[in-house]
Amino acid sequence: MIIKTVELETVCGITSKLPDNTKPEFAFAGKSNVGKSSLINALMNRKAYARTSSQPGKTQTINFYNINDALYYVDLPGYGYAKVAQEVKAKWGKMIENYLHQSPMLKRVFLLIDIRHDPSVNDKTMYDWIVYNGYQPVIIATKLDKINRSQVQKHMKMVRQGLGIGQAVTVIPFSAETKQGRDEIWALIEEMMGE
Ligand code: GTP
Ligand code: MG
């Protein structure tokens, strides 16, 4: 994908109305710190346009990035961030749920899983949620650079088994450091734009 323009066009908090976008949306979900904003930067060819942090809980709003005036990348707040009060967590959960429910232009949801770890109960719940809402999830196994090459197959299997998914679901290993996997994700998005 050739990135010509990127713009953070809409930022939605708990009480904001969702935008009535007319271009396809691609959303990125996953637990806090898994690398959603880093992946979005890689897919925008920008170093730090989307704010990232080594501290979990950085993205606390739903951020719509307009790409080439042709599509949107949607950066979602992470789940499972322990330091946030239960009440706030519930509101974020509702906000994400609401977005998944009511977005006619949402084409696909990418679910990010840290390749190093077994998917959590929350990851599995999120996966089921995406399916329940009628979306076909694409799994991105993030932080690929953090494991040894010889361990990749084993960890990919772990991700599949943890989520309980078969070969029909796409799992793409990705590193925001090396950008490995980026072309494959771009190709998928371009393919899905036409659907
Ligand atoms: P929240 O906004 O808190 O939900 O987190 P997020 O999922 O947006 O994660 P973010 O992109 O902010 O990344 C979290 C941390 O992981 C940052 O310190 C990133 O630099 C690091 N990180 C993200 N992706 C990778 C990767 O592929 N490899 C390595 N080594 N570090 C990564
Ligand atoms: Mg983020």
Domain range annotation of the chain? 6-14+21-193
Atom of ligand 1 nearest to the CA of 59: 2
Cα 73 to averaged position of ligand 2 atoms, centre (Å) = 12
CATH number for the domain whose boundaries are 6-14+21-193? 3.40.50.300
DSSP 85: -
Q: Which of 39, 53, 55, 74 to mutate to test the pocket of ligand 1 (most atoms within 8 A of CB)?
A: 53
pLDDT in single tens digits along all 195 residues of the chain: 999 999 999 999 988 899 999 999 999 999 999 999 999 999 999 999 999 999 888 888 999 999 999 999 999 999 887 677 788 778 888 888 899 988 999 999 999 999 999 999 999 999 999 999 999 999 999 999 999 999 999 999 999 999 999 889 999 999 999 999 999 999 999 999 887
**ipTM for the assembly:** 0.99
- 125 contact partners, CB below 8 Å, separation of at least 6: none
CA distance 94 to 88: 10
Ligand 1 centre to CA of 119 (Å) is 16
Both tokens assigned to 50: 């989307």
